[in-house]
Amino acid sequence: MPGANLTRTEAEERATVISAPIHYTVGLDLTRGPKQFVSETTITFGAQTGSNTFLDLIADEVSAVLVNGESVNPEYCVADHRIALHDLQERNTVTVKALCRYSNTGEGLHRSVDPSDGNVYLYTQFEVPDARRVYAVFDQPDLKAIFDFSVQAPESWIVTSNMPVAHRELLDGIMTADGTLGGRPAETARRWVFETTPKMSSYLTAICAGPYAEWHTEYANEDGRTVPMAMYCRQALRDAFAKDVDYLFDITKKGFAFYAKTWGVPYPYAKYDQIYVPEYNAGAMENIGMVTIRDSYVFESKVTDALAERRVVTVLHELAHMWFGDYVTMKWWNDLWLNESFAEFMSTLCTAEATEWTDSWATFTSGEKSWALNQDQLSTTHPIVAPINDLHDTEVNFDGITYAKGASVLKQLVAYVGRQQFFTGINHYLDAHAYGNATLADLLGELESASGRDLKAWSKQWLEQAGINTIRTEVEENPDGIIASLTLKQSAPAEHPILRAHSLAIGCYDVDETGAVVRTDRVELDVDGESTSVDALVGKRRPAFILVNDDDLTYTKLRFDDRSLAFAAENLYRFSDALARAVIWLSFWDMTRDGGYPARDFVDLSLAMLSTEHESTTFRYALGTLNTTVMHYVASADRERTMQHTAQELWKLANAAESGSDEQLQLVMAYLSYGQEGDEEFARDAQGLLDGSVTLEGLEIDNNLRWVIIRALARTNLIDDAGIDRELAKRDTTENREFAYAAKASRATGEAKSWAWDQALHHEELTNSQLEAVIAGFASARESLAQPYVARYYEAVDWIWEHRSFHMAESLIGGLYPIHADPKALVEAGQRWIAAHTEADRALRHLISANLETSQRTLMVRAYNEAL
């Protein structure tokens, strides 16, 4: 499988040929114009004498290849995005000069033009491996090297990389090409030369360039060094970001201190930059010493507390990667979880214990863990330590299993071995593999030594087997209300029939004198096998509610005993502890989507819960699951009535919410998603919010909320394309262009959906963010508008996979799936495609299967509710 993909076998073979030390000198010329840049790379490395291997490079043109002093004709050595190297010596020097292309998809070196001021911003994104889009490289994580970067760019720009600037020089007589600065006059060029990096993986190298706004401070590192810190964003966002910079510096410093104390390893690198960049195709990226973060985290408008907290978790997640993933890196992508699960677990722990977001574990349960439970019940699930045969396998594994299930299982591991022993083992692991690569076996060895527990069986259960268990509570009580027996019954799905060992807690909850539901007792125990008796609670008075997995210590589905289930359904909103509410709510949602709890009851439970819930992420996800239930799971005959009822109740809740509160904002945005064409009451509310004739005390119609309203009007055909264009003309910014694309694609007409479909598939000048906005608007098509796209979707899939990069193909195949079409038709079409594509790439079948199984679940759950 040659070319842009890379198999594990090829990587292993190349690693046996290439030997350290490996050194790259990379020079980039960013002054040529808006389409291409010059890349010149010199690599020195060891090799087996007489051996053959290859470099990775995706370029428009390779103009020169020099191997050990001899010129090689690119026509003979360049093919399939690779440069063949033959008859290598014990030590080798290879120079490659190429013309590479800026991307507009967030892959490689992305180029973004801000329409509000014409400024150009560049940044790199190299994970999984896209360093090869910028320079010639052995692009795999275990061939670590040291790097020397230099960049030629316009004099007025700022250029940053992984290391501090060694020196800068003006290039007399060298001017930038017309167009480099968005059509502005040419200017003198400058060269930035950066200090040599420590040994690192190529996917963690990075360059950012452009007229970024900047802020600086420093941190007194635990090893006695002073670490320079900086933050950057687009000039158009300078004023908004300035309000938050000190706060984000403070959060980052708290992270430095927490991680150094917890792991016993101070921050290891020379500096720490955080650059908020436009049109990012991920949340953030852990480039060594220079993290890139999507600039939707720069808040110009009011945002939910859930998003504000998510920004904190993201900042701390990327900081954790400086140790997990950067300082110690997985050998191959099958151990991606060593990066992502640890960063997810540690960022949540740090957020909960070192910042004001003390309910962060409730956030994790409602947000991240619900993501994991969803993906772990698909046929495409995989072990946390996943089998990765090639790069495409890796790309589809940046998922809820690798991130959220892995983090949840690490929380279970801490409960299993003890917190002090766990972090002692982590300290030894980081020290033993500093600046190197490691595997699962390396980690387990250190944890076993620190804890004295054999973790091989634990690993086989939790890390090397897919699927999720269910723990059901069975209670027998005496006539006087005393517990006679309490048994936990564990089961496993047929396709993943493994019963795991769990270290968990059971909480007993009752109503106190204030009417709140509070915990009155708690026991910890190990659960193993099919049946476990909880003797510690036998002989005690039966509480109103028994919560297995109190404090969410393990990863499992829960099924409550009948009395507990009935009590929680009536009283969930009265539980005082945010984490307990999140665990219980997630179980109700899981039962609903499994066809084990009536959709109409879940709607009522959710609306009651929203009347009092204040944990923002739980609130946000409750709104999301409520929407899924109403739109997909309720009985077909009840759907329109339920939609109308839910919308009315959300509007009532919004009007009753505290002035200016987070709940008020979330409820208004949720209400606006329920609009239907011809609903005069909705039209009056939505248009009134926009023109000011309808007001809610404390609710500001700022830029982002204004565009939420415009999109709601578009979905109900209360605004046309010309009206959307007029709104955009009032303030034409990067963000508002994306909002406008989404609004146009949201219009409930066949013409609008056809336009959106064509734009998504064939307008390749759209940035990745604009494409995602078009896709999101198209996806709002209700059944009659979505139905014609069932056949068109499956006709387009193969073309998408062949003609688009993986990231863009993933966005298109996931987002253009006409989810609101008749699920029976979607299932039949999906099954036909799967049957006809037995030889398709595993990653492509993975994407199609996930969509298919979503529709199969809809059919199953809808049938359950229609039978009630």
Between strands 328-330 and 436-438, the pairing is parallel
CA dihedral 427, 432, 438, 443 (to 10 degrees): -40
CA 116 to the chain's CA centroid: 28
Angle between helices 336-354 and 245-263 (to 10 degrees): 110
Q: Which two tokens stand for residue 413?
A: 């591991």
- DSSP for residue 266: -
Q: Cβ-count burial of 477 within 10 angstroms (0-12 exposed, 13-18 middle, 19+ buried)?
A: middle
Distance CA 746, CA 717 (A): 9
CA atoms within 13 A on the CB side of 519: 15
| Burial status of residue 736 (CB atoms within 10 A of its CB: 0-12, 13-18, 19 or more) | buried
Q: How far apart are CA 782 and CA 779, in angstroms?
A: 8
By DSSP bridging, strand 91-101 and strand 61-67 are antiparallel
Q: How would DSSP label each residue in 206-260?
A: -EEEES-EEEEEEEE-TTSPEEEEEEEE-GGGHHHHHTTHHHHHHHHHHHHHHHH
Cα atoms in the Cβ-side hemisphere of radius 13 Å centred on 863: 9
**Cα 831 to Cα 827: distance, rounded to the nearest angstrom:** 6
How far apart, in whole angstroms, are the C-alpha atoms of residue 3 and residue 166?
Answer: 36
In terms of Cα–Cα distance, which of 824, 833, 443 is closest to 636? Answer: 824
Mapped to the 3 state alphabet, what secondary structure does 727-763 carry?
HHHHCCCHHHHHHHHHHHHHCCCHHHHHHHHHHHHHC
Distance of CA 145 to the CA centre of its chain: 28
Strands of 356-416, DSSP E: none
For the beta sheet containing 226-233, the strands, ordered from the edge strand earlier in sequence to the opposite edge, are 213-220, 226-233, 272-277, 290-294, 284-285
Sheet hosting strand 531-533, strand order edge to edge:
531-533, 483-491, 470-477, 557-559
Q: Which residues are catalytic?
A: 318
d(CA 62, CA 96): 7
Closest of 46, 38, 60 to residue 17, by C-alpha: 46
Encoded tokens for 87: 């008859």
- Contact at 8 Å (CB) between 751 and 711? no
Contacts of residue 522, Cβ cutoff 8 Å, sequence gap at least 6: 505, 506, 507, 508, 550
Question: Within 10 A of 463 (CB to CB), how many other CB atoms are there?
Answer: 23
Closest listed residue to residue 383, CA positions, set 400, 401, 369, 395: 401
Which amino acid makes up residue 480?
A: D
